Structure 1
Amino acid sequence: MKIKQVILRHLKLDLLTPFTTSFGTEYDRDFILVEAISSDGVSGWAESVAMLDPLYNEETLKTNWHILEDYLIPILLKNEIRHPDELSEKLFSHIRGNYMAKAALEGAVWDIYAKEQNASLSSMLGGTKKSIDVGVSIGIKDSIDETLTIIESRLTEGYKRIKLKIRPGWDVELINKVRKVYPEIPLMADANSAYSLQDIDSLIALDDYNLMMIEQPLAYNDIIDHAELQARLKTPICLDESIHSLDDARKALKLGSCKIINIKIGRVGGLTPSRKIHDLCLEQGIPLWCGGMLESGIGRAHNIAITSLKNFTLPGDTAASSLYWSEDIIEPEVTVDYGTINVPTTPGIGYNASLKKISKYTKYAQTYRF
């Protein structure tokens, strides 16, 4: 495979409703859309999930653009590729970090590769599921009553799991009241690194509510304190921000820092690293699920493909396009049928990028040629 051209586009989509976490509130989503074009004229699509500000991790839209433009794209355009694995294992391996930038370009190459094999991205990754179960993430709201109203709506729509964002002061009372109304629903809490071991009493108090997991309660770069916390909790800890690589996952599991891992393709550097973490966790009996970063339909398509692998046994965050956007940039949009999404079987990511809609939301674009 030879890539002859890469197009970077800066897009901005307005969220239908604000999304609040312990990081702050998002009202819209700026992101880089990557289109890679092979010498045979096949386009592959992916997106960077880096935010405008370095809040989730140190990467931003601007730093991703810089790394893509000045380092990764020139490497890609200069080299012939037999398989997308070569990007993370060889071509990009000397560039430290910058996982979201790497994942965005690698994902576009994976899409091309699958299309050239006339196969779905899911099947090329080794996915076996025909459909995947999905849950929904609910941000921090103005009141618990508002949260309960949204939960009721999402349960009516059939979502298989409810994730509630928490932070100190918006945690035990929230979960307590939700459990009184919904004592049996699959429920989890996501802290986005908002706590420390000084808050251990609040975290231990959550043990009483039969949660599926508490996601990333402590620091984004920690696996030591999480091991201490997990030893004190019966509720499984799920690590998110702490896992950037196969080595991070291996070390966290060895230390007992978690019992569940959330894979985000961008956070770990691409589909190839995601598959390697999947295989490690499968071997060690650690369940996985796929997290979300408010992706457009392009990013959601990649999430669906990776979630089709065997060990993604817990419902992920890949909700329907219509929960977030007035219109998505793919055709058809991602839809959910009572908590499940059918895994596409058509070549590549299985959704068509709408150039008309992409143009509508593009703020800036740049083309790079061989």
Structure 2
Amino acid sequence: MRTKISGVELRRIAMPLVAPFRTSFGVETSRDVLLVRVVTADGEGWAECAAMSEPRYCSEYVDGAQHVLREFLIPALPKDGLDAQAVGRVLDPFTGHRMAKSALETALLDARLRGAGESFGSYLGAARDRVPCGVSVGIMDSVPELLDAVEAYIAEGYVRIKLKIEPGWDVEPVRAVRERFGDELLLQVDANAAYTLADTQHLTALDDFGLLLIEQPLANDDMVQHAALAKRLRTPVCLDESIESAAHAAAAITLGACSVINVKPARVGGYLEARRIHDIASAHGVPVWCGGMLETGIGRAANVALAALPGFTLPGDTSGSHRYFATDITEPFVLADGHLDVPTGPGLGVLPLPDALDEVTTSREWIAL
């Protein structure tokens, strides 16, 4: 069904984090978020662009995403409308910019599904009405501070703990968490490409702690070295930044570069491509899980729906809203028994709260078609 588009609003909001979040590529204290609102003949749809303020996680950044949306992606949309499923083909001639493309495609899908009265989860193929949730714990100043943070998250009910690591903050904090909370704790680590193949011997020390996986230990663009590392580790290697498409996922599996995949829809260009990765991984018996990018309730709703697909067999980084924000722009996602409910309303199943949204809005830009 073709959807005629009236225009697109690009809205920037400032979302302070409840605590600094440190990874191997930097420290974040707030999120400069780009929201995309598509207005069609049948209604409107929302989405969140996951690009960060600086190009550290990947080459995209929020100012660049807004620019490419304004100058190239939005003007490329057909004036007589299009099927939301065809957005990817329309935008394909523009190289890269997957996070910007994902936001535009998701907003169009949200609008279409709201008009049809169908939920995002149902459309993607969700097999559950709630999903188990893990939490990502940033690099801390000390091991005691880390242990206190992990204890608090376990008390909240999170069923899996992920520790960010980097050279100098890896074996000892992992050992301390395992010794304090025991072998029953589902525990994994994320390096965000902080190591090289020369660190192989050091990384083998992590094999002693019964980890679910080690995520993205080596460079984003080197599947061959990840395959070599995977042969040396007992701990399963999971790829994140290296997987930007279903084709990348297929190549990684074929090479033996990973035995688990973190699916971040924004990183791969949208939820339709994320579903393709899920299908490829499932066909090869490779578990997947849904990663997070410190999303507001708009992005979190879509992620929770994706995480309900049958191949997402590991808890994702789909934390409750207050893990990152004192006040969300939607009704907050609240953890219950370590799970979040999958929204069942039309489209994403959530909408921004007008007063909360206005309070954090820093700019608005309307692009008519």
Place the TM-score, normalised by the shorter chain, in its bin: over 0.9
Paired position in structure 2 for 1:53: 54
Distance in 2, Cα, partners of 1:158 & 1:327: 20
2:359 aligned with 1:357: no
* CA offsets 1:302-321 (integer angstroms, 9 cap, x no match): 10111111101100001111
Matches within 5 A, 1:251-290: 251-290=251-290
Distance in 2, Cα, partners of 1:346 & 1:177: 43
Paired position in structure 2 for 1:33: 35
Paired position in structure 1 for 2:190: 190
Paired position in structure 1 for 2:159: 160
Distance in 2, Cα, partners of 1:74 & 1:336: 40
Paired position in structure 1 for 2:337: 338
Distance in 1, Cα, partners of 2:30 & 2:202: 32
Question: 1:183: how far off?
Answer: 2.0
* CA offsets 1:314-345 (integer angstroms, 9 cap, x no match): 00001111111110001x21111021011111
Distance in 2, Cα, partners of 1:16 & 1:29: 11
Question: 1:119: how far off?
Answer: 1.1
Distance in 2, Cα, partners of 1:75 & 1:12: 28
* CA offsets 1:119-144 (integer angstroms, 9 cap, x no match): 11100111121110110000001111
Give the aligned residue type for 1:5.
G
Paired position in structure 2 for 1:11: 13
Give the aligned residue type for 2:149.
I
* CA offsets 1:55-106 (integer angstroms, 9 cap, x no match): 0000111111111001111122524223x22111x21111111100000111
Q: 1:79 to 1:309 in 2, by over 3 A?
A: farther
Distance in 2, Cα, partners of 1:81 & 1:49: 24
Distance in 1, Cα, partners of 2:222 & 2:242: 6
Contact in 2 for aligned 1:2/1:80 (Cα 8 Å): yes
Paired position in structure 1 for 2:82: 81
SS at match of 1:44: strand
Q: Alpha carbon RMSD of aligned pairs, Å? A: 1.0
Paired position in structure 1 for 2:233: 233
TM-score w.r.t. structure 1 length?
Answer: 0.97
Distance in 2, Cα, partners of 1:63 & 1:346: 32
Long gaps (5+) in structure 2:
none
TM-score w.r.t. structure 2 length?
Answer: 0.97
Contact in 2 for aligned 1:114/1:348 (Cα 8 Å): yes
Contact in 2 for aligned 1:4/1:77 (Cα 8 Å): no
Give the aligned residue type for 1:29.
R
2:17 aligned with 1:2: no
Distance in 2, Cα, partners of 1:345 & 1:177: 40
Contact in 2 for aligned 1:77/1:369 (Cα 8 Å): no
Give the aligned residue type for 1:23.
F
Question: 1:12: how far off?
Answer: 1.0
Distance in 2, Cα, partners of 1:74 & 1:355: 28
% identity of equivalent residues: 44
SS at match of 2:70: helix
Contact in 2 for aligned 1:290/1:316 (Cα 8 Å): yes
Contact in 2 for aligned 1:44/1:109 (Cα 8 Å): yes
Q: Would you say how many aligned residue pairs link Structure 1 and Structure 2?
A: 366
Matches within 5 A, 1:137-156: 137-156=136-155
Give the aligned residue type for 1:10.
R
2:363 aligned with 1:367: no
Paired position in structure 1 for 2:325: 325
Long gaps (5+) in structure 1:
none
Matches within 5 A, 1:129-144: 129-144=128-143
* CA offsets 1:116-174 (integer angstroms, 9 cap, x no match): 11011100111121110110000001111111111111111111100000000100011
Distance in 2, Cα, partners of 1:69 & 1:247: 28
Give the aligned residue type for 2:281.
C
Distance in 1, Cα, partners of 2:118 & 2:352: 17
Give the aligned residue type for 2:102.
A
Give the aligned residue type for 2:354.
L
2:121 aligned with 1:119: no
Distance in 2, Cα, partners of 1:68 & 1:355: 24
Distance in 2, Cα, partners of 1:5 & 1:128: 34
Question: 1:233: how far off?
Answer: 0.8
Give the aligned residue type for 2:171.
V
Distance in 2, Cα, partners of 1:355 & 1:2: 25
Paired position in structure 1 for 2:69: 68
Give the aligned residue type for 1:123.
S
Distance in 1, Cα, partners of 2:153 & 2:161: 8
Contact in 2 for aligned 1:127/1:309 (Cα 8 Å): yes
Give the aligned residue type for 1:140.
I
Distance in 2, Cα, partners of 1:221 & 1:357: 40
